[in-house]
Structure 1
Amino acid sequence: MKFIQTILRGIGQVMFQNNIYSGLLFLAGIFYNSWLLGLAALLGTIISTSVAQILRYSKDDIQNGLYGFNGALTGIAVFCFFEVNIITVLALLSGAVLSTFVMHFLKKLIPAFTAPFVLVTWFVIYSLLFVFKFSLLSSSETTRNGLQLFTASSNSFGQVMFQENVITGIFFLLAIFINNKLMAAYAVYAAILGSLTGWFFEPISSINAGLMGYNAILCAIALTGKRRSDFLWITGAIILSTFLNITLAKTGMITLTAPFVVTTWIILKLKNKNLG
């Protein structure tokens, strides 16, 4: 039972929710959209958490899910971008293991956030593309006549874990809300502002798919605070992460959550300098 709770916390920690019920709702949302990606999330979390236990990393960190969420994201990403076969299954397993090592190293130096997932998944993706000559799965582009703000915002929540599904996004928002209402409020604000910011520069299909809001949501949750100044820092982070997402994407890079990680590092550095 304790291991199951650790796994659910690991999934919850993708959006900074150290709560087994939040993790359960996240998992339910993924399975609602794709049973395959749900299994990938579970497998990635179990592998990365088990490796941390075998290596006897901090027991508290493991139980709080800190060694699970990067593995969860890596697992989902592999099956999101590539067909399932023996090589991609091995890539998922290897990526989940590697994410634990990278997390253990980075967390001693900086707030790691999802940086281990980003670094490991870039390595896995580009290895499969250029070494094994695999092709990326084609994505079906939704076509709508104009901005659908509710759809864009809900999909933004889903896209944190590669899910383009409005119902899944609602599951994710509810998962945050039951654990921290302030984080949920800021996350909704981020989804809307991120989508509106991207609207000036990106195709409507990308906005409605939630691709301009998910990094903004993570920034808002990571920086949530009760001070008035926190609202300004979060607003700046939302806009900066959206522009960074657009800029990196134009280079052909698969951005993942890199815009969130870099933006949050910058904002935290500025906040600390301002307070000092």
Structure 2
Amino acid sequence: MHAASTQAESAALRTLLRSLGQIVLQPNAFTGACLLAGWLLADPRLACAALMGATAANVSAVLAGYLEADTRDGLHGFNGALAGLAAFNVIADNATAAAVAILAATATAWFLEPWSRRLRANGLGVFSSPFLIVTWLWLPMITTAAPVTAAAAPQPFTAMQWVNGILGALAQPGFASGALPGLLVLLGIAAASRRHALWALIGAALANVAHVLLGATASSLDAGLLGFNGALSAIALADCGAAATLGGISVAVVLQAVASYFGWPAMTAPFVLASWSVQWCRHRFARGAAARESMKRIDPSRQLS
């Protein structure tokens, strides 16, 4: 009995860690542990938020009767983790943040299955879209207008800011910042896929350069805010070929720049929309190729008539 209980607890822990790993698109428990270590290093409050949200979403998925294999892979928990992180990142009061985190995480889980069926029918991945939709619904009720401040004078970009910008971009999908938390995330991604880790660095670096050329500030670069959508897009599209991946990174940069200009809380939306655009094009091309192949198989007697 004790051995069975220990195995169940170990399986639950692996599921929880895989849910955290899926934030950077890796169904890997070690990746999730690296993210958790990064949060503990950057801000323990974020670690509590992610664990709370992932647990609420996974429990909701079990109650809803979703596929157990998908739950074990972390597919039902990572949007809940992101919902929890967003709540604790925006709301200062811990009790209010916890209540919003649990409710939002539960909503992402119940919303996930019908939403994912619709997306799959069009060849699209779910990614963090449930988290975005749920967060956008409650965010206007919580946040207040930011005070208007005078524009800071342009500052030179240092080598350390570029390092922070690239590594910090890997921590930003989990609402953390800093080179060391980002390095832990990179280690976690590399443990699951060295190719994904390389593309994450490439995506973050290219996005950082592009945003700086578009006029981004040194402080935004230093915080890792410029490259995280590029990094996520690179990981998501790494299996689609270099051209598609670079195209997705470019789309993510443009969308993030537009959202930043208008002051929209885009979060990971540029990554999601950029990945969808590439997937949709590939899906349409595949359907067109299948239709042309079907036409070639028409009865020869009809072709000759």
Q: TM-score, normalised by structure 1?
A: 0.91
Residue identity in the other structure for 1:103: L
Distance in 2 (CA, whole Å) between partners of 1:155 and 1:144 is: 19
Q: After superposition, give the CA deviation of every residue in 1:142-187 in whole Å (9 maximum; x if it has no partner).
A: x963153211101110111111111000000000001101111111
Does residue 95 of structure 1 match 2:104? yes
What 5-or-longer segments of structure 2 have no aligned partner? 1-9, 120-124, 290-305
Distance in 1 (CA, whole Å) between partners of 2:76 and 2:146 is: 27
Distance in 2 (CA, whole Å) between partners of 1:218 and 1:106 is: 21
Distance in 1 (CA, whole Å) between partners of 2:54 and 2:145 is: 25
Q: CA 1:135–1:38 in structure 2 vs 1: closer, same or farther (change >3 Å)?
A: farther
After the TM superposition, which parts of structure 1 deviate over 6 Å for at least 4 consecutive aligned residues?
none
Equivalent residue of 1:107, what SS?
A: helix
Does residue 162 of structure 1 match 2:175? yes
Q: Which has the higher helix share?
A: 2
Larger radius of gyration: 2
Does residue 121 of structure 1 match 2:102? no
1:81–1:136 contact (8 Å) kept in structure 2: no
Match of 2:212 among 199, 222, 226: 199
Cross-structure match for 1:34:
43
Q: TM-score, normalised by structure 2?
A: 0.83
Q: After superposition, give the CA deviation of every residue in 1:172-228 in whole Å (9 maximum; x if it has no partner).
A: 000000110111111110010000000112222212221121011111111112xxx
2:21–2:27 contact (8 Å) kept in structure 1: yes
Does residue 263 of structure 1 match 2:274? yes
Cross-structure match for 1:23:
32
Number of residue pairs the alignment of both structures matches = 266
- Displacement of 1:87 in angstroms is 2.5
Compare 161-170 and 81-90 and name the one that shifted more: 81-90
Does residue 149 of structure 1 match 2:162? yes
- Displacement of 1:84 in angstroms is 2.2
Match of 1:172 among 166, 178, 185: 185
Distance in 2 (CA, whole Å) between partners of 1:159 and 1:144 is: 22
Equivalent residue of 1:39, what SS?
A: helix
Distance in 1 (CA, whole Å) between partners of 2:170 and 2:179 is: 9
Cross-structure match for 2:257:
246
Give me the identity figure in percent.
Answer: 27
Cross-structure match for 2:295:
none
2:64–2:110 contact (8 Å) kept in structure 1: no
Cross-structure match for 2:241:
230
